[in-house]
Amino acid sequence: MTGDGAVRADVWLWRARFFKTRGLAAAFIAAGKARVESGGPPRRLEKPAAPVRPGDLLTFPLRGRIVRLRILAPGVRRGPAAEARALYELLDDANGAGDA
């Protein structure tokens, strides 16, 4: 993590408990399945080490749904579900992504 709150995308997805292992999160990103918006047009994440920061918007498919969220915090560890849920805010929750 850098001084501006940036963290690797694979680490963030793992800490936020979207994937059981960091390796699964890294493979998901390397396959080009996630997009990030950082104040500009959306861009595909292709490297697990790509930085994400609080305020960024992430969009990715998960369990047959499209998850769109805003990163609120980088996190410091992979904690319990309640702690992980505080790392993001779900957007466009109309498709039932609330239990992602």
Contact 46, 29 (CB under 8 A): yes
Give this prediction's pTM. 0.87
Per-10-residue mean pLDDT of the chain, 100 residues long, equals 80 98 98 94 96 97 96 96 97 54
Distances (CA, A) of 29 to 5, 24, 68: 20, 9, 15
Q: Which domains does the chain have, with CATH numbers?
A: 7-94 (3.10.290.10)
